[in-house]
Amino acid sequence: MTVVPLVFFSLFASTAGLGDLKKIGILGGRVIVYYLITTAVAITIGVSLANAIKPGYGISLKATGDISKILGKVNQTSPSVVKTLINMVPSNPIKALAEGNMLQIIFFAILLGIAILSVRGEKREVIITGAQGLSDAMIAMVNMIMKLAPYGVFALGAGVVARYGIKVIGNLLVYALVVVIGLAIHLTLLLFVSLYGLGRKKPGEFLKKAWGVMVFAFSTSSSNATLPLTMETAEEKLGVPGYVSSFVLPLGATINMDGTALYQGVAAVFIAQAYHIPLTLSAQLKIILTATLASIGTAGVPGVGIVMLTMVLTSVGIPIEGIALILGVDRILDMLRTVVNVSGDLIASVVMARFEK
Ligand code: ASP
């Protein structure tokens, strides 16, 4: 119910909110490429770890539908990457919305966000403000639904354990551990290396200065709520010029979610393993592509990452009911992935500041 309007309005509003694309210029192009690359690497780490450690092996979830049809769908909906890219362009955007075709919705929302910037005057402002309002309303709706989450987690968790036995909990722990290991690898190997190599800042020094931001991100589970502190830390402690941080960080809080993307990669492979669905290479590439886009569309508030996971699963053909399995451990993983999301933004601002010089 919430995914399609949430993605559409929030992506449209944040693209339109970038303002004049010409003014964004080189810094904008650079940071968007940087964000996309780090996100894609994050999911690749997640997918590879889940493939190697196989946290879902040993569980036998039964799909409600015909399993051979599902298997067919996973293969059939995993055409070549080129075909996937071509299929991103909807022939009818309303149909894409109605069918929940996420890649097409994302493509259309971004294109519309760019197009609205060439409309002048009040007409443009009304539409952008309206879309921001609707995006906020969708987030409020997710929050309302999340109030029911503890009961849902209880019932679904009890159902899963009753049906598949207590050993499921062992698998869940391994799954959570894979996410945690993946996040640690991404933070230390990719982000810290880029901080040092590209931003010329020592990770130890960064950790000392950014520690408060990380703790805040962990306890709020929200990139958006952390944003004011992230900006202050970038400017006052890490020496990032105001014009860089005020562009790179709000954009990052909206579109750059390395932690979320990595987690979605692990979760998709885990659920597929639990259903005994073998993932071909092209299905895995599709997970990487969709999760990159899904993380762009994920709002920086608690719990949206798992809502967006439905989109990744649907696009590959993995049954979304599998989410019941992982819902119970999601909150703590949300806290951890938000730390990586926010650290990724902060490190990007340091790297970009250096390039500006
Ligand atoms: N809570 C995350 C964030 O705000 C998003 C998510 O993965 O749910 O960065």
Choose the weakest-confidence range: 19-28, 115-124, 168-177, 324-333.
Answer: 19-28
Question: Which atom of ligand 1 is found nearest the CA of 225?
Answer: 4
Contacts of 128-132 spanning 24+ positions with Cβ under 8 A:
128/13, 128/16, 128/17, 131/9, 131/12, 131/13, 131/16, 132/9, 132/13, 132/17
What pLDDT is attached to residue 70?
66
User: Which among 35, 138, 214, 301 is the best mutation to test ligand 1's pocket, defined by most ligand atoms within 8 Å of the CB?
Assistant: 301
Contacts for 328 with CB less than 8 Å, ≥ 6 apart: 153, 156, 157, 172
User: Looking at this protein, which amino acid is placed at residue 111?
Assistant: L
In this predicted structure, the answer to whether residue 123 has a pLDDT above a threshold of 90 is yes
In this predicted structure, the answer to whether residue 205 has a pLDDT above a threshold of 90 is yes
Contacts for 95 with CB less than 8 Å, ≥ 6 apart: 101
What pLDDT is attached to residue 41?
95
Which residue did the predictor score with more confidence, 74 or 322? 322
19 confidence band (pLDDT: 50, 70, 90):
confident
Helices (H), 147-257: 149-164, 168-185, 192-197, 203-220, 223-232, 242-255
Each residue's pLDDT tens digit, 334-357: 999 999 999 999 999 999 999 886
Q: Which two tokens stand for residue 355?
A: 């390039």
* Mean pLDDT of the 180-188 span: 96
* Mean pLDDT of the 129-151 span: 85
In this predicted structure, the answer to whether residue 78 has a pLDDT above a threshold of 60 is no
Could you tell me which of 94, 134, 146 has the C-alpha nearest to residue 7? 134
Cα(304)–Cα(313) distance, rounded to whole angstroms? 15
What pLDDT is attached to residue 136?
87
Cα(305)–Cα(334) distance, rounded to whole angstroms? 8
In this predicted structure, the answer to whether residue 25 has a pLDDT above a threshold of 80 is no
Cα(218)–Cα(228) distance, rounded to whole angstroms? 15
Each residue's pLDDT tens digit, 309-335: 988 898 888 998 889 889 888 989 999
| Overall fold of domain 24-79+148-355 | Proton glutamate symport protein (1.10.3860)
b/e 150-169 (16+ beta carbons within 10 angstroms → b): eeebeebbeebeeebeeebe
- CB of 303 sitting under 6 A from ligand 1: yes
Question: Which atom of ligand 1 is found nearest the CA of 222?
Answer: 4
